[in-house]
Amino acid sequence: TASLPKSDLQLLRESHRFLRSAEDDDGSWEARLARRYYERLFREYVICDLAGYKEGHVGFRWRTEAEVVQGKGQFHCGHRRCDSSSGLQSYEVDFKYYEAGHRKRALVKARLCEACAYKLHYRHIKAARKRQQREEKLGRRSKRAKVDDDLESTLGVVDVQDLGDDTKDPAESDDGRHAHKSEGSSSNR
């Protein structure tokens, strides 16, 4: 039995790469097709798929021309299922992925609303909370906090909040009016 020829879409899915290099182009029709598609993508911001965020399964892809025109991923949240346009923040994400049997990394920019940013950082937030609860349970302080305190005492660093009362002008009274200075003040009114 003869196998059916593959469609252009099937060929594109097989030979597409998130980040293309010169090694990926072997001169074949599939490689040229994938290169043309890759060159038409807008690679400034990514579109995220955060459906599996609790397990750490996050997907990224580059924006298409239609999404750029709509403002998706730049003026609207970059999550695939979110259209929020308020409170957007840009994040640089170290994206680690497997492609063509190799482990790869890419630094990508994502623009997300606050709720979607929480999903993007969910695993890190959860790990930090767990670590903090464990330290509180054991009644310990983290090594980082001890090192920070030691460094501050060595350098003589003072919290800005501690200076709140000391920065008050001595010429001001408690009720907010200026008291007259007795020494060296002359007024030409």
User: pLDDT for 17-30, tens place per residue?
Assistant: 777 777 767 778 77
Q: What whole-number distance in Å separates Cα of residue 55 and Cα of residue 52?
A: 6
pLDDT at 86 over 50: yes
pTM of the model: 0.60
**Helices within the chain (DSSP H only):** 8-15, 29-39, 65-70, 114-120, 122-138, 143-155
Q: What is the pLDDT of residue 189?
A: 37
Per-residue CA distances from 95 to 60, 91, 107, 109, 160 (Å): 8, 12, 6, 10, 37
Structure tokens at 166: 């000391």
User: pLDDT for 60-85, tens place per residue?
Assistant: 998 988 999 999 999 999 999 999 99
One-letter identity of residue 99: E
